[in-house]
Amino acid sequence: MPLWTAAEIAAATNGTASADFAVDGVAFDSREVGASDLFIALTGDSTDGHRFLPQAFEQGAAGAIVSADTPHPHVGVADTFAALNDLGRAARARMAGTVIGVTGSVGKTSAKEALFAALDRSLPDRVHRSVKSYNNHTGVPLSLARMPRDTTIGVFEMGMNHAGELSELTRLVRPHIAIVTAIAPAHTAFFPDESAIADAKGEIFRGLEPGGTAIVPYDSPHRDRLIAAAAPHAARTVTFGLDKNADVRAIEAMRLPSGASFVTAKLGDRELSFTLSQPGMHWVSNALAVLAAVDAAGADLVRAGLALAEMGGLAGRGARFVATAGGGDMLVIDESYNANPASMRATLAVLAEEPGRHVAVLGEMRELGDASADYHAGLAGPILAARVETALLVGEAMAPLVQALEGRVEVMHVADAATALGRLKDLARAGDAVLVKGSNGVGLSRVVAGLVDSSAGDR
């Protein structure tokens, strides 16, 4: 069966089909269009997808959703963005399985990928998830619209940087299980305090289907606030964490020589021991949330444990590789996708466990508002605890941290990622362990890409 037929698209969007066609995928970025895809020509302040219709069909598109005349096979609508949302709703309506929603200040993409791996181990080719970090007002309906009609479990990441955004997204996704991974200072420029961030993340529970399950971090100082947010909407609330009172908890988490962790988790009266391939206690917390969701979905916990042991690192979120430096090898930990104070501390703690000289390439953290200087300066303690010998700091907002570290470690302060890459290549030597982390807009992925060019293989 195709993903969508022209008639189904027209019915879902209240549009008019120009011809019969069928599609196997959906995209609104013409560069991502492949054979037999549906191209949605979104319009915005700075671009108009209709300009890229020829390119989309040259790349193999079978049809398009448009709001302007075109000779290509299409479904005509009044508003293509509204049509994208309508197609997402239609995909959700025809899906007869279980839907899981994931949000949090940190860890949501990693938890989503780990959850997909854990569920796919039990239900190969029957689990669908949002790709990359497609978690906003366009990414969520796109991920829904791409969901095959015979999906057994769908896993969707939802993000926000303003109050009210998650409320809209969760009512589109309508999860049976909703997870909040953690609450931390992120997007604080748009919130008065961390409690307000917790309230905004708690909006995910408003979309829960009747009989739904809320999964909440027990160790969070905002636990009770999240539980209260879930109470009107969830039939059951499950907590996870390291505390002995959490419903799903780690009774043992031992670091192995490889950097992985051996974890024994307790779920009620059941115990599960497994190896977690990803290093760090923040990943232990993610794994507990995953197990809580797998259990709530009625999937196989043992197979989930096997999947967690085999997970590879995610690009920009903990992937590891070995690059050449000074005639030898150095370890690179790629955390370049994003950063906030909590994730910075967590990944610096991971760096602390590695042998060799520690080098931290850290980009500024954005959207922190008036407290930005304090948050940046506050990284000095975690950097010292991680035994960092050289801190290569990128971006103007890092100035308070430069001052906080003065005379305590070697510090280099540069303006951009390109300069950081040049400095790193000059200073790096064999045996180093290098952490690369910063807000996505800083562009430290370019530093990682420059090091990959000299990669000597995966570690």
Place of tokens 């370890």: 331
- The residues, any chain, with a CB within 8 Å of residue 389's CB and separated by 6 or more, are 357, 358, 359, 409, 410
Q: Is 151 annotated as a binding residue?
A: no
Q: Is 343 annotated as a binding residue?
A: no
Q: In whole angstroms, give the CA distance from residue 8 to residue 4.
A: 6
Q: Is 298 annotated as a binding residue?
A: no
The DSSP line for 427-454 is H--TT-EEEEE--GGG-THHHHHHHHTT
Q: In whole angstroms, give the CA distance from residue 31 to residue 25.
A: 14
DSSP state of 182: -
Q: Is 106 annotated as a binding residue?
A: yes
CB atoms within 10 A of CB 78: 10
Q: Is 431 annotated as a binding residue?
A: no
**Three-class SS state of 339:** coil
Tokens coding 374: 């304090």
Look up residue 452 and give its amino acid: V
Q: Is 107 annotated as a binding residue?
A: yes
Query: Which residue blocks in 219-280 are alpha helix, DSSP H?
Result: 223-230
Q: In whole angstroms, give the CA distance from residue 179 to residue 202.
A: 9
**Positive/negative CA dihedral, 441, 442, 444, 449:** positive
Q: Is 324 annotated as a binding residue?
A: no
The 3-state DSSP composition of the chain as helix, strand, coil percent (nearest 5) reads: 40, 25, 35
Binding-site residue ranges for ATP: 104-110
Binding-site residue ranges: 104-110
